[in-house]
Structure formats: structure tokens, C-alpha cells
Structure 1
Amino acid sequence: MLQAIFYARFHPERGPSVIHQYPPNTIKSSDPVSNPPLINWSEVSSYIIAPYELCNSPLCICNNGHRILGYPISLEHEYYDRNRFTFNICLVLDEDEDAKPWERIVEKIAKFCVALEWEGCVLQHEEDQPGLKLAGKEGGAVEDTVHKGRVYMLLERIFEDLNHYGETCIRVDNVKGEDGLYVLNLRLETEKDFAKRAPERVRSWDVPLLVRNLPDPGEWTWDLTLQRIYGFIDGIKHVKKIAELADVEIKLVRRAVKELVYHGRAVLLDVFHFQAIYACTAEVADFFQNEELQDECRKYIAVHVESDTQKQQDSHKTETNSLEKNALPSREHIIALYADLQPGLQLQEFCLTHKTQLTNIDIRRLVTFGLLKGFLRRIHKYAFSSSHPLHLPQRSLSPVLSRRSVGTMQKSFRSGNTATTRSGDEAVREFERAWRKAALTSGWATPPSGPHPSSFSKSQRSADQLRSQEDERLRSFLDGEHCLDAICVEMGLSEKKVLERLRGFGRSGDVVLFNK
């Protein structure tokens, strides 16, 4: 955590001086006895304002149990006193804190201030402001709410945003009054727990749920994909559905969602449906003993319905408030509900069995809370077929036969043999793939599924042909590695319809369903 930030420069008369500091009295204190500073300025001042040979390079000093990170800058120009202007904006951390994530921050701040100084002499004009005094003095910048100065407000914003959000976006207008805007974007790139848990890839059937608010688009530049998909991220729609509704290529949606998960803005859930099976993990014991977490759960899962008493006279307000308070489920109630979630019990059966106990409880939130806190897990259903190509014995053909077969097929294709000539149905599929690929890569709206009449013959696919193609695609998922959620999302079918198809395969393919 950032303890302090300050701006110091070499003054031609006073030597190394602290101009601004935030929070107040952290570097130079007006009362060192009652409010001692974090560091001893007299011991480190000669390093903060380093010799010219050591400027324009990173700096790290430890003093009084704190670590000072800086990037001293020395600018040469005849405009300055002694033809040189040397300054440093430093960050103060605890000595045992990892300084690596902050090194890029302090370097970027220094280079941003160089741009401000070259373009508008911001640092020089800062001290010319009437009523502005040095940090640590009575009536100084930190105590004067009217004449704070640009640099002081810059330091204040950096300190507050990085400590609270780990990132900031600061815009500074051109000092000379000309058209122009300087933007400083900072992000503390620390590998937090949510970054370590981020998946390597986002799947089509993953459901993103925002757990932290995103910065205001007016203050933070949003990715173009994020602008399109943000309104569809609600913890209900899966990635493929979001891509379809936002009319964005699915690989771009996956990339944007992965960024949100990596930076702790979102988490990934499974598709919620009442055929799903959930069970408690070993962490449920901690939940049963944590009353604070139980109270959080009670507020999260309760359904707040406006009662008629809220619309009546003021004399009934006390009664209404007591009813709302009692509407929250008790701790024992939610513990009993979670304990009854057992492997092999579908959610719809659980809801029917506990119909009375689930009154005024949002079942979706009940499940989501357990998944987010880690004491509930989803048990997926998988399909396995012994006739899947991966599970069939491999038969190698004779080299002579293989070459002869390949040559025959190539000859037939070149000669226009009717057995290998593309049918109208194949032309339809090829046209659709090419047309949609061109639309997605060029930014057009996704074209309709119907191709141009001139691209194929008059033959149309029958219902049996469509069914056969879907069955072939469905068989490709029966390797025991694809869960039923993945199959349903990729096929665009409900779980009920997928199971009906699989029962038809059972007569010839020996399809087995299992949970894990």
C-alpha cells in the first residue's frame, strides 16, 4: 500500500526542497514532535535530488522503515536558473513491501511530468501561484483548500486512486490555454489471487458475472468490444449468447471476458438450470461457523417484495419494518438448505422437496453465493460412446493401397466424377462460411443465414439431412470429455432435446451418461 507521495526539486537558493506532499505531514511535518514524518528528509535529500550523472534513472532508498522509490529528472535549458531544472516525484512504501509493481508507476509519472514541463512549464509555474507555500509550512499547499495547485491535485489523485482501485486515469488540460489534453493512465500490475485463479481460456459456455463495478467510460477508455458486450453481462447469459446478442465475434468476447476475470472485475460461473446438480465442498464447514458470512448470505439471497403495508398510512411503518426484518431467512435455515444439496440430487428435485423452505429465497442467488465463496461446486454430466472415433481401434492401410486410393480420389475429383462433385447443399454451406467470415472481419453486421440464390442449385436440404448432420456433430462430443453444458451450447439445443437424441444413439452406439 502506498504510504505517501511527494514532489521535490532543487531550489537555486534553498537547495533540495519538498514542494508538495500527500498526505499532509508525511515528509515535512509542521509539528515533528506530535506528528513525526515517515522519513528523515535531511538524511535522504541528497539522494532524492541526485547528482546529474545519476538522474534519468530509477532510484530506491530505505530510511526509517520505509522504502522510497523515485526517478530523478534533470532538464537542461537556458530558461532555467543555472540552466538546469532537477526534480523528483517519489513514492513511499513500507520497507518489506514488494516494490517491483511500483517501479513502472513512478517511472511513468516522472516521464508524464517531463512532458507537462516541456509543453507548459507546469512545474515551474506551480511555485508562482499566489499564496502557495512549501509543504510542512503553516498555510502550505496541503492546508490551503483554494490554492492547491495542479501538481498537488495530481499527487492527491494518484495516491487515492492507486490505494483504493489499483488504477487511475487523470486528465490535465493544456496550461497555456491551447487546445490539448494530457492523459495519465496508471495501473498497479500486481498478481493478486484472482489473477492466479484466472483460467487459461474462456469457454463458450462460461457465464461471466461482474463482481466489481467498471470505471466510468467518461473517465476510463473502454475497449471497443467491452462497450458492445457490457450490457449483456448479467451472470445469466453464457459467452456464446453474449456474442450473438452483441453481434461480436466470439473470440473477441472471450478475450474481453478473460481480461475482466484477470483483473478481478468478473468471475466465471456455470450455466444455471434446474437439471444441474450441486454439492457442498469441504469449505462448507467454515461457512457453517462464520456468522458474518451467513448474514451476508441472508441479505444476498432474500427476495424483497414490496408489501401492501408500505403503501398504507404512516402508522403502519413500524409493522412494515418488522415484517421486512423477519423476511430474511435465519442462519439455521440457510445452513439446512445448503446441507441438503447432495450429489445425485437435481436442482429441480431439491426445489420441489423444499418448496416451503424456499419461500422468499432466490434459488439462483442461493447457488451463486455458494459458488462464489467456494463451498459449493457443480457436478457436471458427461456423455461417452464406445463408437466415438477416439475409442475405435486404429487400422492402418497398406501403403500401396493408400496411395492407390488417394490417386483414384484425386483423379475422380479432377475429372468431375459425379460422386465427388459438390452438391448444392455443400455450396450453401461454403457460401455461408465465406459470407459470415467476411462480415465478421470487416465490421459489418452479421448477414442473414440465407445465401444468394445464384450460389447454389435448386436442391434444398431436407429435414432428414439436417437431422443427420446434427447427429454427426453430436457424436463428435461423445468422447467423455465434453460436459452436457458444452454440448447444449455448441449445438444450440436444450438438455432435454440432447438427451432425447442420445437415447436414439443408444441402440447403436452404446452411449453412457455419468457425473463427475
Structure 2
Amino acid sequence: MVQRQRTLATFGAGPFATGDSIGGRFGHYTFDDAPKLLGILLAEFDNREGPIIRHSVPKGNDKVEATFAFTKSLIIPKPSMFRHSFSLTVNSLGCKVLMFPVGIDHKSYERGRFTFDMSFIVDMTSSAETMYEPIVQKCAEYLIELEMEYNFLTNPKYKTHVLEVMEKMFVDLSTRGESVIEVTLEDDKIVSLYFKLCPLYRGCEPPEIDYHMVPMFIREVELTDRLVEKMDVLSQKIIPQIDGINTVREIAINLELDPSLVARCVRNLHFYECVSLVPMFLYYNTYVATERVHDFYKNRNEINECLEFVKIQNAIAEDGSEIPMPTPEFSDVFRLYLSMKVAQNETADGVPEDYLSSIQCGKNIGDWTEEENPRAKGIDEHRLVQFGMHHQFLRKLSVYPICTVNPGNNSLLKACNGKTSLDELSLQHNVDPRKMYSILYDAQKFEFVMK
């Protein structure tokens, strides 16, 4: 018996990525509403001079100093406002200041307290300045820890280090939306600081996750020990299981976890555009190629990713030895995508006689596999479909029942509103889709459309 290995599915672009798949601002994403970062300033309370600017970037930016002159009473506020995020709009300068003032009490400081605030100044033409709020707070938390352990802000020997951190953070966030900064401390100890600008969703709730959806990583993820250590315990277990094959429910079963816990983790990853979600692969599903398959033909990076992903993975024989599998030819892969097309014998009214015939406006993937035999070409039909769905080369056709009578209080009849597919109904009621179709068709209360 030969078993297929499953590997982590990672792609450079997907349905939620914009632009090309080679870098660009924010890695593989472009956040159109990301406000321009104008400057960063580190202010402190001097016991003789009062609030002062200790460092500011970029150098020579008059707007940063002018902003401080307007806002210094809030940048270094009263103790009651310590460790709270707030912002201030300076209309005359066309900017907004995001602040998180901090006061550290310790007998080693003159007057027993050290007060500082690293503020971010952003362009006010964008309404998305709150994208920076988590970074402002995280930056403050890093500095609190470094100051309490190493006197990073008050020890003169670290003065240039602080400025270098601010300069690198400003450049990286402005150009890439993320920054990793290594700080060398005493005894050559190195501390890494991580910052990432996340997209703004203006109060929208993350989408609900169906247990039968398959999560797939949008951008490349290398699960290093350092990265895993920074995850919570639940994510450490779940993320390595995301391979573009397993559904949310299957991941939960493999890990012996409640599906709701896995769904919550995947929901957050999806919300922040780390993963896309594609329908569960089933052999009675029908898929058709979209116009985007022609763009795929011209994209060398996606072609290479595809060939690596869709090939039959290294198989393991009964004796435990690996059976290497060759990389398929692109001509075969592209032809197989094009072969998934709408047939000419589609019924005029879109109402099928039975569930199997309902997918004759395209072949179900089981019949298609028997006819095309992709495995003879070294291609895994499961992976071929998932890659196509992820990159939108393919779309899944679904049957949607529409109730033609008054549904009353019947939850099933209410659900048959043209918006819930037959597959979803079947999964909700744990019934085979063919049987569900037969039940609804025999009831003579429904019409069916495929879209």
C-alpha cells in the first residue's frame, strides 16, 4: 500500500492578495488605505526642562518638531493618562499623532520616575491611522521591558542604539509594512523586536468559518523554532496542520481538539489575510475554469509553485522507503485546467433530473478524473483543484435549491432561499448530497439552479 505525504501549502498570492506575487509593499499585499508615516519621535520628561524630544526620525523633518510643540502636554501627560492609547489631530500641520505615554517608577530614577513616549506621526488624509495603534503600543511594551532590564533608554551607552532602532523601524514600516530589528545589549546579548502593520477592517467582525472549509496559506511560511516559540500553545498545534488539504474539522480530529477552537484560530488567520479558504474537495463536485487561467499561463512564478504543489508527493512504500515522484509537465497541467469547461448539453432551465445529471453543465471531478487520468501524468487531481481554487483559476459550481412554498417555521425550507447551496445543507444535516437532492426533489416544493 502506498501512502501520499502531505506538505505545508504556501503560496505567494491568492484571492486576498493584490499586485504581483513578487514582493511589493507589505510583502505580497498592498493596503491602499495605509496612511503615510511622516515621522517617529521619542519624547521624555526632563526634570529640569520638562518635556523634550530625545530622538526623532527622519532627521531634518520640521513637521516632527512642530508637531511636538503643539502636542507636548499630551505626549508627556499627567500620570492618570499613562499606558493608554490616544491620538491627536493637528489640522494646521495635516497630521495625526498616535501616543502611548509610559511612566516607570523606581528609586533609581531622579524623583523616582522615568517618563517617556514614542509617538508616531501619520498623514491625516487617511482615515486608517488606527492601523498603527497596535505598533505604537507594542513599541512601548518593548521599550518598557528593555528599560527595566537594561536601562536601554536612560543609559548613555545605548543612545545610538535607540536612534538606530527608530530609523530602521521608520524605513521598514514605510516601505514594507513590517520590521524585524535586532538590538545588541550588554554581554553581546541580542534581542529581536518584531513589528507588523496589519490591514484595517474598521470594526468588521471576522467572517465565520465553516468546519468543512480548507485553509491554505497565502504567503510563504517557514516554521522556524523562533516563530513557533512566539505562538500561543493552540496555534503551535494547529498551524503545522494547515496543508491545503485538511478541512478545519479534519485538523480538529487529527489534534483531538474541539472544532470550534480550530475554527477560531483559522478565523483570525483568515481575518488578517494569512490564509485563504477554499471548499472541501469532493469527487462529486463540479469545477470549471475561469478567465484567470490565461493569466496563469504568463506567470512563471505561479507556474513553478503549481508544478511543485500539484505533483504526486513523495510516496512511501510498505517497507518505509520513499518513492520519488517526478515534476509534471506544465503543458499537461494547463491542458487539464482548460479541460474543466462548461459542456454544451446544459439543460435550458437549469433544473436537473437528478443530482448526477445536475453537474452535466460541467463534469463532476470523479468522472473527469476517470476520463483524463491525471495521475498517469504525475498530477494529483486533489492538489490540482485546490491550487486552482486558491488562485481562482477554477470555480466550483453548486446547486442551490429554492423553496417555492411558504416555509413557515421550517428551518430547512427557510434555508432553501437560493443563497445556501445543496452541499452546505447536506453538511449541516449530515446527509449525502445525492440523498438530500432526492429528498428535496421528491417533495415537489423546490426549484434548483446551478451557479
User: What's the TM-score once normalised by structure 2's chain length?
Assistant: 0.59
Please tell me whether residue 263 in structure 1 is matched to residue 294 in structure 2.
no
Counterpart of 2:125? 96
CA drift of 1:248 comes to 0.8
Cα 1:83–1:488 shift into 2, 3 Å: closer
Residue 244 (structure 1) aligned to one of 210, 231, 253: 253
Report the equivalent of 2:231.
222
Counterpart Cα distance in 1 of 2:340 and 2:384: 9
**Does structure 2 retain, via aligned residues, the 8 Å contact 1:202–1:257?**
yes
Corresponding residue SS for 1:209: strand
**CA RMSD between the two structures:** 5.5
Structure 1 residues 480, 13: closer, same or farther in 2, change over 3 A? closer
1:301 is aligned, of 303, 306, 322, to: 306
Q: CA deviation at 1:206?
A: 1.7
Cα pair distance change 1:80/1:501, threshold 3 Å: closer
**Deviation of 1:250 (Å):** 1.9
Give the aligned residue type for 2:116.
F
d(CA) in 1 for partners of 2:144 and 2:241? 42
How much has 1:327 moved relative to structure 2?
3.1
Between the aligned partners of 2:372 and 2:199, the Cα distance in structure 1 is 44
For residues 296-334 of structure 1, what are the alpha-carbon distances to aligned partners after superposition, in whole Å with 9 as ceiling and x for unaligned?
54334336879xxxxxxxxxxxxxxxx98x933399857
Matched residue, 2:154: 124
> What is the identity, as a one-letter code, of the residue corresponding to 1:301?
C
Is the alpha carbon distance of 1:68 and 1:487 closer, same or farther for their aligned partners in structure 2, counting shifts above 3 Å? closer
| TM-score, length-scaled by structure 1 | 0.53
Does 1:203 find its partner at 2:210?
A: yes
Distance 1:276 1:11 in 2: 69
Structure 1 letter corresponding to 2:231:
W
Q: Is the Cα contact below 8 Å between 2:214 and 2:278 reproduced in 1?
A: yes
Paired letter, 2:365: L
Larger relative contact order (Cα-Cα within 8 Å, sequence gap ≥ 6): 2
Residue 99 of structure 1 aligns with an amino acid whose one-letter code is E
Q: CA deviation at 1:265?
A: 1.7
**Counterpart in the other structure of 1:442:** none
Q: What is the one-letter code of the residue matched to 2:130?
A: K
Question: In structure 1, how many angstroms separate the alpha carbons of the residues matched to 2:401 and 2:264?
Answer: 29
Alignment of 1:31-430 (within 5 A): 37-40=60-63, 42-47=65-70, 49-50=72-73, 54=77, 58=86, 60=88, 61=90, 67-71=96-100, 85-97=114-126, 98-110=128-140, 113-114=143-144, 117=147, 121-125=151-155, 127=156, 129=157, 141=160, 148=161, 152-153=164-165, 156=168, 160=172, 164=176, 188=197, 190-191=199-200, 199=207, 201-212=208-219, 213=221, 218-219=226-227, 221-280=230-289, 284=291, 288=294, 290=295, 294-302=299-307, 327-329=329-331, 333=335, 336-337=338-339, 339=341, 343-354=361-372, 359=377, 361-374=379-392, 376-381=394-399
Instruction: Please give the alpha-carbon distance, in whole angstroms, between the structure 1 residues aligned to 2:237 and 2:75.
Output: 50
2:136 aligned partner, one-letter code: V
- Contact 1:4 1:159 (8 Å CA) reproduced: no
How far apart are 1:27 and its partner, in Å?
Answer: 2.7
Q: What CA distance in whole angstroms lies between the structure 2 residues aligned with 1:204 and 1:305?
A: 27
Secondary structure, in 3 states, of the residue corresponding to 1:268? strand
In structure 2, do the counterparts of structure 1 residues 27 and 291 end up closer, same or farther at CA, with 3 Å as the change threshold? same
Aligned residue identity for 1:209? M
Determine if contact 1:208/1:269 at 8 Å carries over to the other structure. yes
1:513 CA drift (Å):
9.2
Quote the residue 1:430 is aligned against.
none
- Deviations for 1:144-172, whole angstroms, at most 9, x for unmatched residues? xxxx36x7548746874797465989999
Contact 1:48 1:88 in 2 (8 A): no
Percent of aligned positions that are identical:
19
The separation in 2 between residues aligned to 1:335 and 1:502, in whole angstroms, is: 28
CA contact (8 A) 1:207 1:237 kept: yes
CA contact (8 A) 1:280 1:341 kept: no
Task: Give 3-state SS (helix, strand or coil) of 1:302's partner.
Answer: helix
Which residue of 48, 58, 69 corresponds with 1:27?
58
Code of the aligned partner of 2:253: E
The whole-number CA distance in structure 1 between the counterparts of 2:104 and 2:444 is 78
2:5 matches 1:5: no
**SS of residue matched to 2:395:** strand
Mapped contact 2:289–2:340 kept (Cα < 8 A)? yes
Contact 1:71/1:106, CA 8 A, preserved across alignment = yes
Distance 1:49 1:94, change over 3 A: same
CA distance in 2, matches of 1:277, 1:99: 44
- Point out the more displaced range, 74-83 or 99-108: 74-83
CA apart distance, 1:276: 1.0
Q: Give distance in 2, aligned partners of 1:334 and 1:294.
A: 17
**Retained in 1: the 8 A contact 2:44–2:76?**
no
Change (3 A) 1:510 1:246: farther
Matched residue SS, 1:329: helix
In 2: Cα distance, 1:167 partner to 1:196 partner: 26
Aligned counterpart, 1:315: none
- One-letter amino acid of the counterpart of residue 98, structure 2: L
SS of the aligned residue for 1:202 comes to coil
Deviation at 1:266, TM superposition (A): 1.6
Quick one: distance in 1 between partners of 2:298 and 2:53?
Answer: 46
Distance 1:305 1:365 in 2: 8
CA 1:242–1:157: 2 relative to 1, 3 Å:
same
Asked if the contact 1:117/1:123 (under 8 Å) is kept, the reply is yes
Matched pairs, number? 372
**Deviation (angstroms), 1:348:** 3.2
User: Structure 2: which 5+ runs fail to align?
Assistant: 1-35, 313-325, 345-360
Distance 1:357 1:508, change over 3 A: closer
**Greater radius of gyration (CA):** 1
In structure 2, the CA distance between the partners of 1:78 and 1:266, relative to structure 1 (3 Å rule), is: closer
- Aligned runs of 1:420-499 on 2, under 5 Å? 480=416, 483=421, 485-486=423-424, 499=434
Instruction: Return closer, same or farther for 1:391/1:214 CA change in 2, 3 Å cut-off.
Output: farther
Shift of 1:267: 1.8
Deviates more, 1:360-369 or 1:95-104: 360-369
Q: Flag the 1:368–1:27 CA change in 2: closer, same or farther, 3 A.
A: same
Q: Post-superposition shift, 1:247?
A: 0.8
Change (3 A) 1:122 1:492: same
